[in-house]
Amino acid sequence: MIASRLRTVAVVAARSSLAAPLLRRAATAPSVFVSVTRGYTSKRFTPEHEWVAVADGVATVGISDYAQKALGDVVFIELPAVGTTLAKKENLGAVESVKAASDIYAPVSGEVVEINEELKDNPSLVNQSPEESAWIAKIKLSNPAEVDSLLDEAAYATHIAE
């Protein structure tokens, strides 16, 4: 249904004299679109509620919105050291809340190349923006194929609904 609406909008826009200059510009700059989107995958999840977003061989990792809601108010996050090499499912860190403490596991193998320093002083950011600003670490992938074994957004939604 959405696809048919988009086609209808595209046809109407193409017939509009106002759309013609925009369509000509878009047609002459396809490489810009490709370079902006190249190297990105959609967000993936583990059954243990970590998420991964990959860009240019580096996985940004955090805990899901579902996990932060289950934990409650986060008061502390243990971050890995930059330079640490991790195997998939190895302990990446920990998160502590007023309700519980939980380990965070590496969803992929690789080397930690960056950590979110902001979480040291503001662990509650996990409750405010768990799948955006509150990423935990960036891992340079040693085995990019591991990402394919993770749950896509639809599969993760089914997993947490069970």
Handedness of CA 131, 136, 142, 143 (dihedral sign): negative
Burial class (CB in 10 A: 0-12, 13-18, 19+), 100: exposed
Question: Given this model, what pLDDT does residue 162 score?
Answer: 87
- Cα four-point dihedral sign 149, 143, 137, 99: positive
Residue 140's H or E segment, with its range, is strand 137-141
Percent of the chain with pLDDT over 90: 73
**Span 133-155, pLDDT tens digits:** 999 999 999 999 999 999 999 99
- Cβ density class 48-62: b for 16+ within 10 Å, e for less: ebbbbbbeeebbbbb
Rounded to whole angstroms, how far apart are CA atoms 90 and 103? 10
Whole-model pTM over 0.85:
no
pLDDT at 41: 54
**What would the two tokens of residue 103 be?**
């380990």
Alpha carbons 86 and 106: distance in angstroms, whole number: 7
- In three-state secondary structure terms, 93 is strand
- The predicted-structure confidence for 12-58, as pLDDT tens digits, reads as follows 333 333 333 333 333 333 332 222 333 445 899 999 999 999 999 99
